[in-house]
Homo-oligomer: A and B are copies of this chain.
């Protein structure tokens, strides 16, 4: 069994890096706050006897040695970056659980056959730089390093510069690490486990996602002297798109659709808006569902009387995890007598990329009120500890194979 108090203390500690006054965390990827939490993580792992590797996209691999150095390590982990005004658990839990596993192994003198690698993936959130799951995406070959390094944030800073600025553009080539398996513990970020009063989610896969950028060009004009019939109002067109995204998602249940980002130019009360930028997120468990949603979006945009540029900038197909590894999670939850149920993840995860290159599974613990990407995000110490115990059992089972 892992030590739940020690794990909780780490959650409290890491929440200080970028902590907000409402009890949340703003720790966007590759910022100074991200550097601080990375340094803390590296320091902890070093003190436990891990070797540290950082690759060219800033992914950190902390490896605790096993008996047989010829075997590839088993990997666990998640991400330390957060959303703006995000929560204390999203991502962090999976990394800290990995650290706690190593502490438990060390304390009990347990030596696995495989090494155990705790990974912190760079930019899982995709808020500062698109796309999400960036570090695991390059690692798994889903995207190429050169293109990703050149991406910019809203201030024009490139990924490469941001990595160099915080000192985490590492030496080792991206993707040159092999894993025996990858298991990621994460909070559910949705309402299903809580509603079912279930302790553990056995994640069987991850729904697909497509991201779109929208650029609307209207005509700036005086809000008092421009007759309604002569307006070309970019915010009116944008509002029609926001409602269309909502309506399309409703018609394609269980799909979801969100316009999470909007900026208006020149953004002055008495000026008819001339430009609006929107960022849209659409998801569905099936690729066919996603395609239908995209077609409906394109149709809705075409029907709006305005100059609109719609760009499909990223997608990730639905993923099904390897059944044997999912079974190991189920067996571990059962062995610990925790109630458990199968779920498909609504949120994207690094595990969805890693599933393409090695046997992969995920473990969910409940989120209070289903909330995430919210400062009020919460999972109790007991819930976090249960998930970490299941993670430990799953690693032990995989190690025996």
**Residues of A near any B CB (own CB < 8 A):** 83-86, 125-127, 130, 132, 188-191, 207, 209, 211, 219-228, 230, 233, 235-236, 238-240, 242-243, 246, 249-250, 253-254, 256-274, 279-281, 283, 345-348, 370-375
Contact = CB atoms under 8 A, between A and B. Distances in A.
A224 B283 contact: yes
Number of copies: 2
Contacts of A243: 236, 239-240, 243
Nearest to A208: B224
A126 B270 contact: yes
Given A227-B254, A240-B243, A242-B236, A264 B261 contact: yes
Nearest to A264: B262
A14 to B, nearest CB: 20
B268 A223 contact: no
Nearest to A250: B228
Contacts of A238: 239, 242
Given A239-B243, A240-B243, A253 B225 contact: no
A223 B266 contact: no
Chain B CB within 10 Å, residue with most, of A189, A220, A259, A281: A220
Contacts of A274: 85, 374
A268 B272 contact: no
16 contacts: A83-B271, A84-B267, A127-B271, A190-B225, A220-B374, A223-B258, A223-B281, A226-B370, A228-B246, A228-B250, A236-B242, A239-B239, A260-B264, A260-B267, A262-B264, A270-B348
A24 to B, nearest CB: 9
Chain B CB within 10 Å, residue with most, of A219, A242, A345: A242
Contact of A261 (B191, B236, B269): B269
A163 to B, nearest CB: 21
Contacts of A267: 84, 260-263
Nearest to A243: B239
A221 B374 contact: yes
A273 B85 CA distance: 11
Contact of A84 (B236, B239, B268): B268
A222 B260 contact: no
